Amino acid sequence: MKILITGFEPFGGESVNPAYEAVKLLPDMAGDIQIVKMEIPTVFGEAGKVVETGILQHQPDAVICVGQAGRRADIGVERVAINLVEASIPDNAGNQPMDVKVQEDGDTAYFATIPVKAMVKNIKDHGIPASISYTAGTYVCNSVMYDLLYLIDRKYPSIRGGFIHVPYATEQGVGKPVGTATMELSTISKALLYALEAVAGEDALMIKELLKTNPL
């Protein structure tokens, strides 16, 4: 099985993005599962194009995009993406669209096609806080999740897809208000691997054995 997992570049004045930093810590192979890692731009429209390039290049069985959600304290596996962009801050290209659609001819919303509940359960079963999220926001994270699911609906029906939000990395908490939620990058990366385990289904035992012999 091949899984493409993406993480965003830093944005909003941050020097790092825990999404891609955690993705980079993942192994290239977990048993018979190939994990393809890719950084994507925090730019409306462009992020989705890069994801499609990755799909065409790698022909994955599943695609999971990962993004930073600084206000969250746990791993959030997103259930739905909506066809709406309202940018509270500019993206990395200076765009700040408001009240526009992600895709003009797209449905109002698309549901993730990865096993969201099983992913959350497996992360929690390994002692890492996680929950199902029912809003990916209206920024680039929601936009790329919507673009991915739109592509799956229109062009790549054999692929499963979805999105995971992660908290700030611990080092990002420096200089932020007391009480700002953070998580160690190694913990975030383990959570992502447990999420992949649930997506992989029958290949799950292989990843468990990998974690035992090669802890992150």
Show which residues are catalytic.
78, 141, 165
Whether the Cβ atoms of residue 134 and residue 80 lie closer than 8 Å to each other? yes
Radius of gyration of the chain (CA): 16
Q: How many CB atoms lie within 10 A of CB 144?
A: 30
User: Contact, 23 vs 5, CB < 8 A?
Assistant: yes
Query: CA angle, corner 53, sides to 107 and 150, nearest 5?
Result: 10
Q: Is the separation of the CB atoms in 55 and 159 below 8 Å?
A: yes
Supply angle C-alpha 74, 142, 148, rounded to 5.
Answer: 110
Q: Which of 2, 126, 146 is nearest to 67 (CA)?
A: 146
